[in-house]
Structure 1
Amino acid sequence: MSGTESIGSALREAPVVVLVEPQLGQNIGMAARAMGNFGLKELRIVNPRDGWPNVHAKRAAAGADAIVDGARLFDTVHAAIADCSLVLATTARAHDQAKPVLAPEAAVRELAGEIAGAGRAAILFGRERWGLTNQEVALADRIVTFPVDPEFASLNLAQAVLLMGYEWFKCAKGGVLPFVATERSVRASKEQEQAFFDTLVTELDRVEFLRPPEKRDTMIVNLRNIFSRMEATKQDMQTLHGAIKAIAEGRKGPARGGVLDGEEAARLRALLATTGAGRMPDEQGPVRGLARLLRRNTSDAERVLWKALTRDRRFAGQFKRQTPVGRQIPDFVSFPFRVAIELIAANEPDDLTKDRGERRTWLETRGYRVVDVREADVVGDLEGELARLEKNLETP
């Protein structure tokens, strides 16, 4: 189509974007997306090379469908800007024309003033390869250029639209951000700061950090200044206080939520095998509690294997650790693959070996494949064990 049509009042809140002879549908779509980001609603296209409508433009718009669907087609720049009272031409080249040259910030202020006075404003963007011609620039009232490196001044079409859209929206909305930082808790009192600092100094004295004695006072002053500069909140102080206490007290036992070493974790599994016989995992009592402790207290090899299963793209998201399958709790289980992994420790107690055998039988009768993995192999050849596991997953 060509010519002009009446423009709805809803579109008069922002300048019109005019793309002059754009070459690729993808660039039109990306320009429409940039428009949508910054409140530019009306798109006019002059003689697009690949015709219109263009499926590539729709795909590249990434959700800005209303702008693409509402785009109007014109045969000439004259027709595209016929109803406009202020026209700005964007260019990276000096056209030696006697008209004002503006940076984007100044340009959008003129656009805003024109629209506020019930005028109609438009921004011209040229072809991807060589921009606007002298004749097209001559139709504009102002020239807009961007402060870019003169040795590499050419911008992608969508980038140019995005820069102008950004400046327009910032001007129109007063630079207000869509969200702000979450509200911090109230600032810590001096009493709370002192309590934390007393704990810190006490623990540092215990490990003889504040030495030699003649430098102790200076070191304490330096430390205090570090935390004073933080302007810490009450929550900050509580977190730091807890961290210092946790470091000072070291590893906790399972009742305190700590981590067992490999030998302790093996004994815990043996205890679960002995105590949990015949109980369902959801029962109140030893099985449920011990299973929860196993998830929290892993052996070194189990931590290594679990880290690999969660990060390796071959297995990520497919396995769960210490998760009940019926009344059984294998070390790892994949419900999509119906595979259970049993991690075998060296010198495993007889009770634990017997429990694993019963668990294997129970799982296999219900369609699960059980893969035994030795802890020593995980530590010594993790990649080899992962490759072997991948083959087991591929086996029907």
Structure 2
Amino acid sequence: MPGAGTDKTKTWVVAPGPVIVLVEPQIGENIGAAARVMANFGLSRLRLVKPRQGWPNPKAHMMAAGADRVLEGAELFDDLASAIADCSFVAACTARAHDQAKPVVSPEAAAERLAPLVAAGETTAVVFGRERNGLENDEVGLADAIVTFPVNPAFASLNLAQAVALVSYEWFKRTGSGLPFAMPVRSDPAPKEQIHAFFTNLERELEAVEFFRPPEKRETMTINLRNIFSRMQPSRQDIQTLHGVIMAIAEGRKGPARGGVLDGDEASLLRKLLAEHGDGRVPSERGPVRGLSRLLRRNPTEAERALWTALVADRRFAGRGFKRQVPVGPHIADLVSFPLRVVIDIAPPEEPAEAAQI
């Protein structure tokens, strides 16, 4: 499995680009870090002028974090003139004004200047100086242009690898294929018909709780609500989720959990009412009776809550597929496990036979 952005299953970008030249880098870690950002942005040609700690350097490979092929292809030179001898255009990176009559450009402008030369097959280079004091005047004199960065003038010095990263990034912006990924589209945009149905349902539920007050502002409030969701440009899944949220709020929480609307005494009174109602004297009465039964199950006793907690938390029962308030034919069970083919009805000790039949 690929790590944080490193995926060895994908093709390594190999494309022409400017040579990166590091003049007398002081420590191997900075060379490795520079090689890493070169690899990030598709540059592979690295030249080193008299690295202070010698070459090859194991600490450079450690810091390169997988960009070993850049380090393995690095070329070693004794002076800057030799390192850029085959280059038709050279840009020198510096944070200091060297009082030389040379074009001073940003990294973005430098990439724009280099791109057609590289495309024509010419060898170009971008030169970076020492970590401590950068490039000397005579070294800048060998360049065709000066590259500098728009930074805080009171703290203009960049880490060597940071400077290489800025130039490499601007290069890859011009020559790369753009962003590597985009937001996935997991659901189509919601059609107006679905949005209209959602609004109708939302407004109906808001009307039920007297949200639109005063009445004369109802039209304005409705338009504002519709505009809120229209600006979202919701997908089909968004509307389905919002519809589920509205219905959950409107219908209340289901199952043996705290937060019911009845306390223990009220639940007991409801049980008695159900017992007195029995099976219902006419078919039309079965609906209200079942509705009251569902309300009771949304307001369980402490014993019922304890049972549900045991079924979902105890390792002997967890994962056995228990569900709450599942219809089985015309009957609404308290707890059901379809994998185990088990139906549990919770019957209080004082519950009469008539209530048990509901």
Relative to 1, partners in 2 of residues 1:263 and 1:54: Cα closer, same or farther, differing over 3 Å?
A: farther
SS of the aligned residue for 1:51 comes to: coil
Question: Which residue of 1 is the match for residue 215 of structure 2?
Answer: 213
Contact 2:46/2:75 (8 A) holds in 1:
yes
Going from structure 1 to structure 2, the CA distance change for 1:84 and 1:271 (only over 3 Å counts) comes to: closer
**1:235 match:** 237
Q: Return the alpha-carbon distance in structure 1 between the equivalents of residues 159 and 301 of structure 2.
A: 58
Say if 1:11 and 1:42, in contact at 8 Å, map to a contact too. Answer: no
Equivalent residue pairs, number: 272
- Secondary structure (helix, strand or coil) at the match of 1:152 reads coil
Classify the secondary structure of the residue corresponding to 1:26: helix
C-alpha contact (below 8 Å) 2:49/2:78 kept by paired residues:
yes
For residue 189 of structure 1, report the CA deviation from its aligned partner: 2.3
CA offset digits 1:214-258 (Å, max 9, x no partner) = 3222211211111122222222211211111112111112699x9
Q: Quick one: distance in 2 between partners of 1:232 and 1:51? A: 60
Structure 1 residue aligned with 2:126: 123
Shift of 1:270: 6.7
CA distance in 2, matches of 1:229, 1:116: 45
The one-letter code sitting in structure 2 at the alignment partner of 1:211 is: R
Asked if residue 30 in structure 1 is aligned to residue 70 in structure 2, the reply is: no
1:165 aligns with 2:197: no
Structure 1 residues 133, 261: CA separation in 2 closer, same or farther (over 3 Å shift)? farther
CA deviation profile, 1:197-217 (whole Å, cap 9, x unmatched): 111111112222222323222
1:53 counterpart residue number = 56
Kept after mapping to 2: 8 A contact 1:109/1:171:
yes
Partners of 1:125 and 1:131 within 8 A in 2:
yes
TM-score between both structures, scaled by the size of structure 2: 0.69
1:254-333 alignment to 2 at 5 Å? 263-268=303-308, 288-290=320-322
1:332-360 alpha-carbon deviations (Å, 9 max, x no partner): xxxxxxxxxxxxxxxxxxxxxxxxxxxxx
- Match of 2:135? 132
CA distance in 2, matches of 1:118, 1:250: 71
Conserved? CA contact 1:12–1:115, under 8 Å: no
Q: Which runs of 4+ in 1 moved over 4 A?
A: 258-263, 269-273
Q: By how many angstroms is 1:45 displaced?
A: 0.8
1:242-261 counterparts in 2 under 5 A?
A: 242-253=244-255
C-alpha distance in structure 2 between counterparts of 1:228 and 1:11, whole Å: 45
Partner in structure 1 of residue 196 of structure 2: 194
Distance 1:193 1:269 in 2: 39
In structure 2, runs of 5+ residues without a counterpart are 1-12, 258-293, 325-358
Instruction: Give the alignment of 1:72-111 within 5 angstroms.
Output: 72-111=75-114
Instruction: Tell me whether 244-253 or 32-41 shows the greater mean CA deviation.
Output: 244-253
- How far did residue 188 of structure 1 move? 2.1
- What is the Cα deviation at residue 181 of structure 1? 2.1
DSSP 3-state at the match of 1:122: strand
Contact 2:311 2:317 in 1 (8 A): no
- CA 1:192–1:38: 2 relative to 1, 3 Å: same
Contact 1:128 1:157 in 2 (8 A): yes
TM-aligned CA distance change 1:72 to 1:11, over 3 Å: farther
Query: Shift in Å at residue 11 of structure 1?
Result: 7.7
Aligned residue for 1:288, secondary structure, equals: coil
Taking the aligned partners of 2:219 and 2:317, their CA distance within structure 1 comes to 56
CA 1:246–1:60 in structure 2 vs 1: closer, same or farther (change >3 Å)? same
Cα distance, 1:78 vs structure 2: 1.1
Kindly provide the amino acid, as one letter, of the partner of residue 117 in structure 2: E
The 3 A distance-change label for structure 1 pair 60 and 219 is same
Greater Rg by CA: 2
Q: Aligned partners of 1:269, 1:161: CA distance in 2, in Å?
A: 59
Deviations 1:9-44 (A, max 9, x none): x98711111000111111111111000000110111
Secondary structure of 2:193's partner? helix
Root-mean-square deviation over aligned CA pairs: 2.9
Between Structure 1 and Structure 2, the one with more helix by share is 1
AA aligned to 2:304 is E
Q: Is 1:251–1:259's contact at 8 Å kept on the other side of the alignment?
A: no
Task: Considering Cα pairs closer than 8 Å and 6+ residues apart, tell me whether 1 or 2 has the greater RCO.
Answer: 2
Give, as a single letter, the amino acid of the residue that structure 1 aligns with 2:244. Answer: G
Distance in 1 separating the partners of 2:301 and 2:78: 77
Are the aligned partners of 2:15 and 2:42 in contact in 1 as well (CA < 8 Å)?
Answer: no
